[in-house]
Amino acid sequence: MIDFEPDEEQALIIETVHQFAENEIRPVARETDETGIPPAGVVEAAHELGLVANALPEAQGGGGARSAVTGALIAEELAWGDLAIALSILSPALLGFPVADFGNDAQKNELLPGLMDSAFVPGSLAIVEPRFDFDVYRPETTATRDGDEFVLQGRKCQVPWLDGGTHLVVIANERPSTASSSGPPASGHLAAFVVPRDAAGLLAEPELLMGLGGLPTVELAFERVRVPASSRLDAGDDDLRRLIDRGRVALAAAGVGTARAAYEVSREYAKVRETFGQPIATRQAIAFKLADMAIEIDGARLLVWEAAAALDRGEDASRLARLAWDQVTRIALQVADGAVQVFGGHGYIRDYLPELHLRNVAGFSSFEALALV
């Protein structure tokens, strides 16, 4: 028989992270969105819980307990508090997990211990490109071999860029040294590189997004950025496809958390908001809308868990990850919009959470790998 109940350890993690989200994240969500600055105290406190460090290798000081299912449970609860703050808290994984999975010993020993120190250090992963026909598996950003170096050329966007970060992982189209440096990218393969944020030729331009105001992101320009050949991660096409799958599962889990938050706040509002002497929750139109929200959220969560479980079993999870991501993209927007409607005119006012939830999930269809499990 299939068991969908979290085990005892996972149940404890859910309870701990939910309490943290309720007591620490939710109270500062609005202020964080307005200022655009992640709350340092909250991020540091979350870091002390070891939510990312516990999944990093024991050899570098981590807990060695990597599980996509557990990661999805954590992402959902954090995003229930606030999506932008959740992605800030989980950002060290964007650097740590690729290096842990595909880095050499020198890369692991240089980069991973810093992500598990007493102070929070964010990471970053550059995948998305600013073009309408962007294909995550066929990036136009190129990495061309030049002797003992690679030359990176191209642009990336929606790149998390929190203060204090030192390196990022860049996904590019690797080209042989004989390939032309002009024109469309030659037929190559995916490759990942660890790049210092202060590398010569790397230019960062802050982005102003409709949502995720509390998660600083940038558009990056790689103008012949040179990195040593040793900065290339030992990951082939299939490895990086799995990395993309992990990003989609993590983001889908966070979307479920945001949708759940929108549903719960609108449900509680419907219980106390009265018209003609009765709570609006007793009105058939509102009751049916809330019921549909709950059903869709539970269904989307099961897709996320199925994809995460496949990742933990080492199976090809590309189809399941894509299904979960596509479904959550639709459901999160539908639920957040429904919450605004339940609130009526108040749903459009910034004093209430529904408009924040709606703005945060509006861009889900264009997000890629803002988190990893």
Q: Report d(CA 353, CA 323) in Å as an integer.
A: 28
Q: Report d(CA 204, CA 99) in Å as an integer.
A: 22
Residue 273 clears pLDDT 50, i.e. is over it: yes
| pLDDT given at position 277 | 87
Look at the chain and report how many structural domains it folds into.
Answer: 3
Kindly report which listed range (20-34, 46-60, 171-185, 253-267) carries the lowest average pLDDT score: 171-185
For residues 11-37, average pLDDT: 96
Confidence tier at 1 by pLDDT (50, 70, 90): very low
| pLDDT given at position 188 | 62
| pLDDT given at position 90 | 97
**3-state helix/strand/coil string of 57-91:** CHHHCCCCCCCHHHHHHHHHHHHHHCHHHHHHHHC
**129, 92: one domain:** no
The CATH number of residue 30's host domain is: 1.10.540.10
Q: State which residues form the domain around 76.
A: 8-115
Give the rounded percent of residues in the chain with a pLDDT score beyond 90: 86
Residue 98 clears pLDDT 90, i.e. is over it: yes
Residue 291 clears pLDDT 80, i.e. is over it: yes
**Structural element, H or E, at residue 184:** none
Residue indicated by tokens 């692991």? 108
For residues 9-27, average pLDDT: 96
**172, 65: one domain:** no
Kindly report which listed range (153-167, 224-238, 359-373) carries the lowest average pLDDT score: 359-373
**353, 242: one domain:** yes
**255, 287: one domain:** yes
134 CB-side CA count, 13 A: 18
Residue 151 DSSP class: E
For residue 105, how many other CB atoms are within 10 A of its CB?
A: 9
**Amino acid of residue 47:** H
Q: Tens digit of pLDDT for each residue in 33-74? A: 999 999 999 999 999 999 999 999 999 989 998 999 999 999
- DSSP string computed for 187-228: S-EEEEEEEETT-TTEEEEE---SS-TTS-EEEEEEEEEEEE
| 1 falls within a domain | no
Residue 184 clears pLDDT 90, i.e. is over it: no
**102, 33: one domain:** yes
| pLDDT given at position 271 | 94
| 92 falls within a domain | yes
Residue 230 clears pLDDT 90, i.e. is over it: yes
Q: Report d(CA 80, CA 74) in Å as an integer.
A: 10
Residue 220 clears pLDDT 80, i.e. is over it: yes
**Structural element, H or E, at residue 239:** helix 237-272
Look at phi and psi of residue 344 and say left if phi exceeds 0, alpha if psi is from -120 to 50, else beta. Answer: left
| 373 falls within a domain | no
Contact present, 284 and 322 (Cβ < 8 Å): no
**Amino acid of residue 11:** A
**215, 310: one domain:** no
| pLDDT given at position 171 | 97
Contact present, 241 and 67 (Cβ < 8 Å): no
**245, 354: one domain:** yes
**252, 338: one domain:** yes
Higher pLDDT, 236 or 3: 236
Contact present, 93 and 121 (Cβ < 8 Å): no
The angle subtended at Cα 60 by Cα 59 and Cα 64, nearest 5°, is 65
Single residue among 194, 213, 231 that ends a domain in this structure: 231
Instruction: Show the tokens assigned to 112.
Output: 């991973």
| 2 falls within a domain | no
Instruction: Decide: helix, strand or coil at residue 372.
Output: coil
Confidence tier at 13 by pLDDT (50, 70, 90): very high
**92, 167: one domain:** no
| 94 falls within a domain | yes
Average pLDDT, the chain: 93
Closest CA relative to residue 298, chosen from 337, 249, 331, 343: 331
Burial string for 64-96 (b: 16+ CB within 10 Å, else e) reads eebbbbbbbbbbbbbbbbbbbbbbbbbbbbbbb
| pLDDT given at position 182 | 53
Single residue among 54, 88, 115 that ends a domain in this structure: 115
Contact present, 139 and 168 (Cβ < 8 Å): no
For residue 251, how many other CB atoms are within 10 A of its CB?
A: 28
**247, 355: one domain:** yes
Q: Report d(CA 254, CA 252) in Å as an integer.
A: 5
Closest CA relative to residue 155, chosen from 103, 207, 89: 207
**337, 272: one domain:** yes
| pLDDT given at position 185 | 47
Single residue among 115, 146, 162 that ends a domain in this structure: 115
Cα 180 versus chain centre, distance: 34
**111, 130: one domain:** no
The CATH number of residue 351's host domain is: 1.20.140.10
